Amino acid sequence: QVQLVESGGGSVQAGGSLRLSCAASGYTRRGACMAWFRQAPGKERERVSHIFTGRGYTYYADSVKGRFTISQDNAKNTVSLQMNSLKLDDTAMYYCAAQAEIGGSCFFASGYAYWGQGTQVTVSS
């Protein structure tokens, strides 16, 4: 059974940094996408970044490009999101997601079968 567990959220002042981690157990779809999504109150879930777990190709939403970095550690079966220069608009619940099979869309939430419980990121002024 696949389980995704996020960690690393918290409260930080604008301009600060946080590092989120997603530990995947029971997950061995090398080549499929893993992603970070976020959802702020009253807003739709938004894809922040995703990575192809095989070759390591990465993609970012325009809103975080240049500030966030997604990475993978295959030995530990984890995916991390380094978030720098955080802004008030980055405040949201952040979710880790993983595809069940290779080949589905990596850009939309519907393409992911497995989700973590989320970790809260709060950015204050």
Average pLDDT over residues 42-69: 94
pLDDT at 101 over 90: no
- Give the H or E element holding residue 72: strand 68-73
User: Distance (Å, rounded) from C-alpha 81 to C-alpha 6?
Assistant: 10
Q: For residue 56, is pLDDT > 90? A: no
